[in-house]
Amino acid sequence: MPSRPASTGCDWVDEVLLRGADRDAVLHLGEPVSRGQLRLLVAEEQARYQEAGLQPGGGIALRLPPSLACIVAMLAGWRAGAQVALLDYRLTPHEVGRAVARLSPRLVVEPDGEITGKFRGYVDIGTRITPLHGGRAVAATDHALLQLSSGSTGPSKVIGRRVGSLLEEIDRYGRLEGFPRRGERTVVLASIVHVLGLVGGLLYGLAGGSQVVLPTTQTLEGVVKAVAAGPEPTTLLGVPSQTALLATARNPPRLPQLRRMVTGGEVLKDHVRERFTKGYGAELGAMYGMTEAGVIATDLTGATSPGLTPAEGMRVRIEDGQILLGLTDSPYVGLEDPARYLDGWLRTKDAGSLDPATGLLTVHGRLDSQVSIGGLKVDLSEVEASICALPGVTEAVVVHESGIEAYVTVSGPLSPDSLADTLAGRLAPYKRPRNLYVLAELPRTATGKPIRNAQILRAAARSLAAR
């Protein structure tokens, strides 16, 4: 790993992420991209931002799909000394508008055309730069990176990372035995605008010299083809749903270069783990992390599952069954819940336990309304609030088991289809309910509170349908 730069200003991009021989192939998106090519593209994009009015310390928001353009835009923003806010490209215009109002960037960078096609691992796009005259000339904080927890734009959901925090996480990955090294490849299936794909995949790969590969498609065929494209030892980095996809292969191809897959997010089912490891003859590791801090604990080989080893430098303890994480300051920007970060400890809202004999951390699930959908965090309370805000909706309860389900009451002749159509303009696809039911009334407890038991709610929907 390269040594950490003395400065934590914009120099870190050149000294850590772009440093190296011009000829080194650092990225592969259909074809290799050398470090020299990447440096040139970043410099050209930085000039575009400066011409559009971006100054050091200003803010820039990126809403771009996985692409070379997205990678270049990120690096160019940081190299210009800007605070970079990453917005998932799947957010609706309504959600983007709320995010921009909340973040107040100087520039917004978006695709210059429509993004079409499903399951694409990356796209080839140009970008459109929109200066915002009401945007701040200088960002309100010194964070290098802003991300939105669970895709939400509400209070306490904006998460900031300083340059030092990102560099520390890159170093943590570098100290993990078995994580990709120079001369190896990482096929990144996780989103490069979310923490696992961004830091564990893209930034670590650029800093450490392992080639970062984005598959042409996120289909079984596309992933296999990406792994088979080179002889170098290869690691897959993704989420459990992508592992499950690979495990569906009846006769998995022989991929001797595939060393392991490492997943982050929800816990893998045992039958998926067995099918993957036996089918591909590769290890299946797991990691636990948060947008607020990055990687926290890992088991790269699957040998200690479900226990994970806390990463070097991470302070973890358990209080009343909740995982607490020691951080030097609050990761939240703007309005925040003062009970979430207290006395140097972040309340993760994840249930967990630490084995006193081995020191292994076991994560037992969420303590609040946040769930993981295909590796992306979704706050059910945000979904519920969005449904309640629809015209004609009087109440709503949102639950999650195999998928998101919504149960609503309405004041007029509204159908589930019409509500779903309206909601499509307000929530990204991965946050929308898989099933939406209109009830005459919501089941309630003896004290009048809406019941949130999925089985009882489904029974109420079946009873209404049978009338």
- Mark whether 401 and 259 lie in a shared domain: no
Least confident among 231-240, 258-267, 329-338 = 329-338
What CATH number does residue 384 fall under? Answer: 3.30.300.30
153 pLDDT higher than 60: no
Range of 56's domain? Answer: 11-364
Q: What is the pLDDT of residue 382?
A: 87
Q: What is the pLDDT of residue 446?
A: 55
Residue 373 domain-assigned (yes or no): no
Residue 116 domain-assigned (yes or no): yes
Average pLDDT on 366-372 reads: 80
Average pLDDT on 167-176 reads: 97
- Mark whether 386 and 344 lie in a shared domain: no
368 pLDDT higher than 80: no
- Mark whether 272 and 306 lie in a shared domain: yes
Q: 8 burial class (0-12, 13-18, 19+ CB within 10 angstroms)?
A: middle
Would you place residue 228 in the very low, low, confident or very high pLDDT band (cuts 50, 70, 90)?
very high
Q: What is the pLDDT of residue 342?
A: 92
Residue 370 domain-assigned (yes or no): no
- Mark whether 284 and 429 lie in a shared domain: no
Residue 221 domain-assigned (yes or no): yes
Last residue of a domain, one of 319, 342, 364: 364
Compute the distance between CA of residue 155 and CA of residue 333 in angstroms, rounded to an integer: 9
Last residue of a domain, one of 364, 386, 413: 364
Q: What is the pLDDT of residue 336?
A: 67
Would you place residue 375 in the very low, low, confident or very high pLDDT band (cuts 50, 70, 90)?
confident
Last residue of a domain, one of 342, 364, 386: 364
- Mark whether 118 and 208 lie in a shared domain: yes
354 pLDDT higher than 50: yes
451 pLDDT higher than 70: yes
Mean per-residue pLDDT of the chain: 91
Q: What is the pLDDT of residue 5?
A: 38
- Mark whether 359 and 401 lie in a shared domain: no
- Mark whether 355 and 271 lie in a shared domain: yes
Look at the chain and report how many structural domains it folds into: 2
- Mark whether 132 and 169 lie in a shared domain: yes
Written as one letter, the residue type at 396 is: A
- Mark whether 337 and 404 lie in a shared domain: no
Beta strands 211-213 and 25-28 are parallel
- Mark whether 340 and 396 lie in a shared domain: no
The model's pLDDT over 261-297, given as tens digits with 9 standing for 90+, comes to 999 977 777 889 999 999 999 999 999 999 999 999 9
Residue 75 domain-assigned (yes or no): yes
Residue 396 domain-assigned (yes or no): yes
Would you place residue 93 in the very low, low, confident or very high pLDDT band (cuts 50, 70, 90)?
confident
What residues form DSSP beta bridges with 310?
A: 297
Q: What is the pLDDT of residue 365?
A: 80
What CATH number does residue 115 fall under? Answer: 3.40.50.12780
8 pLDDT higher than 80: no
Residue 255 domain-assigned (yes or no): yes
Residue 1 domain-assigned (yes or no): no
Written as one letter, the residue type at 28 is: H
- Mark whether 352 and 428 lie in a shared domain: no
- Mark whether 280 and 411 lie in a shared domain: no
Would you place residue 155 in the very low, low, confident or very high pLDDT band (cuts 50, 70, 90)?
very low
The model's pLDDT over 46-65, given as tens digits with 9 standing for 90+, comes to 999 999 999 999 999 999 99
What residues form DSSP beta bridges with 405?
A: 399, 435
Q: What is the pLDDT of residue 2?
A: 41
152 pLDDT higher than 70: no
- Structure pTM? 0.86
Q: What is the pLDDT of residue 9?
A: 60
360 pLDDT higher than 80: yes
